[in-house]
Amino acid sequence: MTEITVIRDVETIVAYDPDGDRQVYLHGGDVAFDETGLICVGTRFEGQATTELSGKARMVMPGLIDIHCHSHDEPMAKSIFEDVGTAALWGQAMYEYSGVIDGGEDARAACLTVMLGDLMRSGATTILDIAGANDIWLDIAAQSGARAYLAPGFRQADWVVSDSHRLDFEWNDKAGRDAFARALDFAERARAHPSGRLDGVISPSQVETCRPDLLVDAAEEARNRSMLITVHTAQTMAEHEELLRRTGLTGVQYLEQLGVLGPDVILGHCIFADHHSWTRQRTRNDLVTLADRGTTVAHCPVTFARSGMALETLGAYRRAGVNVAIGTDSYPFNMLEEMRQALICSRLGGKSVFDINTADIFDAATLAGAKALGRDDIGRLSVGAKADLLVIDLDAPTMRPVYDPLRSLLHCAAERAVERVYVDGRLTVNQGKPTQLDYDGAVREMQALQDWACSRAGTYDPRGRNIDELAPKSLPVLER
């Protein structure tokens, strides 16, 4: 007999209204599901259930879709480089600093475990992770219980900032081609995984670190396999300037010229398009092109806002008809906090409370994410959809008082009110703790890994600076 869970008399259900293709509130009624999907949403469930739970003071809502994150070394980079940047590269820290913290292969499992745990605790049930291909990736992603799109990155050039002001590219075309071949193989293995919850994504890492022929070949191979394509594009001003120098085009124009754009493409970040005030372009075509092609933008506001950069604006992209989904990029891997920041950054950039509203952000993290993945069975609660859902405790102090539960959740409570998370009807987070992962163990392991990586940072820095010089502490240490 299949295991059926029913949540009775739910105070608030966030349900999908197919007539309006929109999310709506329902008050009262049951939510029932098994491993194959949702059986009942908002009506009375008359069948036999193996598990029966009360929906009193609970909100049941669809699981969230994180369209862009990085496991690899990112989770262990926390609290090191938040206050640095390369002034001549528009303040961006990534080129000069991200390569000096290298946890090695031993760090992969802990980093992935912490990232998945943090994302699921904050309501993400589907994630798209871009990282280096690694055997344990499939195992841990499957074990976590999450629905995971794994995107092994490949590229032909490494970034080098040897003098803290000039970005150079060290090309190795053959190594990039070899990594592409391995990525295709890995993506096929992800798709074939017996869990049925994994898939592969074809991911040239950055638009400026791959030759044009590799970008074209990657898109063709992805389309032959009916796989998605994701590539960082228009993510920094340094990249924008480099592409202008090489081609005279913005990142969006360049990919359009190569024939890469389409509804199966997710562009990482896509901030510095031709309308952005920093790029000072004389055209206003990029958002029109993205909307025409049905290409998705993966919007990850937190890591960029930390460096003083913002998309202009999420509300404007949506009004232009661009499908924008939400990603978390790097730590803190908190999906609900990311959504809050997306809303705040959009209103700050648009200088208006009317630039975007709570429902728009919720749509971006659910229906728009599903659209990006080409799916109509996730990001929504409706009979027949996957049983990927969250149970929110309306009695959590951070939620009360509740007039509008999604507003309490997004503007105040975030993961502190996430009580249970289900993916494919299986409980993956209970009382805020991942059930399938050794999350606490991985968090403990992370400290030793970070200490070790910090002690070796100087060996990866072209200028040989040690970690104290690279990342001075936020307060001076008083010697006593």
Residue number, 205 or 279, with CB nearest to Zn ion: 205
* Pair of tokens at residue 337: 């906090």
Q: How far is the CB of 60 from Zn ion (least distance, A)?
A: 31
Q: How far is the CB of 68 from Zn ion (least distance, A)?
A: 6
**How do beta strands 418-423 and 389-393 pair?**
antiparallel
Provide Rg for the chain, Cα atoms: 22
Q: How far is the CB of 298 from Zn ion (least distance, A)?
A: 8
Residue type at 277 in one-letter notation: S
Rounded Cα distance between 293 and 344, Å, is 28
Kindly tell me the sign of the dihedral angle through the C-alpha atoms of 55, 59, 65, 68: negative
**How do beta strands 296-299 and 265-269 pair?**
parallel
Contact positions toward Zn ion, by CB under 5 A? 268, 329
Q: How far is the CB of 209 from Zn ion (least distance, A)?
A: 13
Residue number, 70 or 147, with CB nearest to Zn ion: 70
Q: How far is the CB of 31 from Zn ion (least distance, A)?
A: 34
- Sheet containing 124-131: order of strands: 64-69, 124-131, 147-154, 198-204, 228-233, 265-269, 296-299, 323-326
Rounded Cα distance between 28 and 13, Å, is 8
Q: How far is the CB of 336 from Zn ion (least distance, A)?
A: 19
DSSP conformational letter for 437:
S
Q: How far is the CB of 161 from Zn ion (least distance, A)?
A: 18
Residue number, 152 or 268, with CB nearest to Zn ion: 268
Return the SS3 of 190.
helix
Query: Measured between alpha carbons, how far is residue 384 from residues 67, 152, 294, 391, 440 in Å?
Result: 23, 31, 26, 19, 35
Query: Measured between alpha carbons, how far is residue 196 from residues 63, 124, 141, 406 in Å?
Result: 17, 18, 12, 31
Rounded Cα distance between 138 and 140, Å, is 6
Residue number, 260 or 399, with CB nearest to Zn ion: 260
Cβ(214)–Cβ(205) below 8 Å: no
Residue number, 60 or 365, with CB nearest to Zn ion: 365
Residue number, 205 or 428, with CB nearest to Zn ion: 205
Q: How far is the CB of 116 from Zn ion (least distance, A)?
A: 17
Q: How far is the CB of 239 from Zn ion (least distance, A)?
A: 12
Q: How far is the CB of 86 from Zn ion (least distance, A)?
A: 18
Rounded Cα distance between 476 and 480, Å, is 13
Rounded Cα distance between 248 and 244, Å, is 4
Q: How far is the CB of 133 from Zn ion (least distance, A)?
A: 16
Cβ(3)–Cβ(33) below 8 Å: no
Q: How far is the CB of 69 from Zn ion (least distance, A)?
A: 8
Residue number, 74 or 388, with CB nearest to Zn ion: 74
Residue number, 329 or 388, with CB nearest to Zn ion: 329
Contacting residues for 241 by C-beta, under 8 A, at least 6 apart: none
Residue number, 239 or 329, with CB nearest to Zn ion: 329
Rounded Cα distance between 381 and 30, Å, is 12
Residue number, 158 or 419, with CB nearest to Zn ion: 158
Residue number, 268 or 425, with CB nearest to Zn ion: 268
Residue given tokens 């730590």 in the structure block: 331
Residue number, 123 or 153, with CB nearest to Zn ion: 153
DSSP state string for 82-136: TT---GGGTT--HHHHGGG----GGGHHHHHHHHHHHHHHTTEEEEEEEE---HH
